[in-house]
């Protein structure tokens, strides 16, 4: 169902949700299954308060039934908390995403831990961006971009490179690096054109640089991607003596 949501297939998404609802009782712990499906759809479409409500209800049901925590549900909950852009909610999301990791080791430009994954750094970077901690956000998002871009086994690689690129573009723009920002904006468009028409159209219709956009669209796509990849690897100056160094 996640793929149908991301690709914008409302007919298939609604069919799958209806199908799940027809076989799951609302008060049964297995209701978490339909809650997760609905939560991701709601979050993807920007309905954050509804996502938070449905996740909190499902989490309560699991706790009441003394069932194990559902990490996927908690992740979607954190996404909605983060994107609400309310400081107290963002802090709560940040705590969930960190999962006990030391922020000082995460949000710097010299350490990177491959085992944590690109999504880990990306989600933390997005939280820091919304909290106005732009330098730390930039370091995290660069690490995220590197790990996602270099992982050829990730089925979600295209859409996630798009997210990392869009977020980098926003942070770079706010750090007065508009020329660099434009390359990441273009890369996000390129990746989402293939993987998620809804995200591509949304980004295209809300340009980050207004009349500056046109020239960047004329550059060959491989040159744009190479520029972005080289830029982030220059930004993140990995400590070569660390056991978790980036190869």
DSSP code for 99: T
Contacts of 61 (CB under 8 A, 6+ apart): 27, 29, 31, 32
Cα–Cα distance between 241 and 93 in angstroms, integer? Answer: 32
The whole-number pLDDT of residue 242 equals 44
The whole-number pLDDT of residue 61 equals 86
Q: What residue spans of 84-212 are helical by DSSP H?
A: 87-98, 103-106, 118-130, 134-149, 157-174, 178-195, 197-205
Taken in order 212, 215, 217, 220, is the CA torsion positive or negative? Answer: negative
The whole-number pLDDT of residue 190 equals 96
Backbone angles phi, psi at 209, to 5 degrees: -130, 10
Tokens 């209800």 sit on residue:
57
The whole-number pLDDT of residue 12 equals 58
Q: What is residue 241's three-state secondary structure? A: coil
Show the low-confidence residues of the chain (pLDDT under 70): 1-30, 207-214, 238-247
The whole-number pLDDT of residue 164 equals 98
Q: Are 5 and 24 in contact (CB under 8 A)?
A: no
Structural domains of the chain, with CATH: 1-84 (no CATH), 101-238 (1.25.40)
The whole-number pLDDT of residue 245 equals 44
The whole-number pLDDT of residue 194 equals 92
DSSP code for 246: -
Q: What is the reported pTM?
A: 0.86
The whole-number pLDDT of residue 3 equals 59
Burial of 239 (0-12, 13-18, 19+ CB in 10 A): middle
The whole-number pLDDT of residue 9 equals 56
The whole-number pLDDT of residue 22 equals 57
Quote the tokens at residue 3: 């793929």
**Please, what's the b/e burial string for 82-117 (b: 16 or more CB within 10 A of its CB; e: otherwise)?**
bbbeeeebbebbbebbbeeeeeeebbbbebbbeebb
């Amino acid at each position: 169902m996640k793929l149908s949501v991301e690709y914008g297939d409302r007919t298939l998404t609604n069919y799958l949700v209806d199908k799940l609802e027809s076989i799951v009782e609302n008060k049964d712990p297995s209701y978490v299954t339909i809650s997760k499906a609905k939560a991701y759809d709601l979050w993807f479409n920007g309905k954050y308060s509804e996502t938070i409500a449905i996740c909190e209800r499902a989490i309560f049901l699991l706790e009441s039934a003394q069932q194990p925590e559902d990490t996927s549900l908690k992740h979607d909950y954190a996404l909605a908390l983060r994107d609400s852009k309310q400081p107290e909610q963002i802090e709560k999301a940040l705590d969930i995403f960190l999962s006990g990791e030391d922020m000082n080791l995460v949000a710097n430009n010299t350490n990177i831990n491959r085992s944590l994954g690109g999504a880990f750094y990306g989600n933390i970077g997005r939280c820091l961006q919304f909290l106005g901690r732009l330098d730390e956000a930039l370091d995290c998002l660069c690490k995220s971009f590197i790990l996602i871009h270099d992982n050829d086994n990730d089925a979600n690689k295209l859409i996630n490179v798009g997210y990392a690129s869009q977020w980098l573009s926003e942070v770079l723009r706010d750090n007065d690096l508009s020329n660099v920002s434009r390359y990441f904006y273009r890369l996000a468009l390129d990746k989402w054109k293939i993987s998620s028409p809804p995200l591509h159209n949304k980004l295209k219709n809300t340009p980050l640089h207004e009349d500056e956009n046109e020239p960047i669209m004329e550059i060959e796509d491989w040159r744009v991607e190479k520029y972005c990849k080289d830029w982030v690897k220059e930004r993140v100056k990995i400590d070569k003596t660390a056991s978790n160094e980036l190869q």
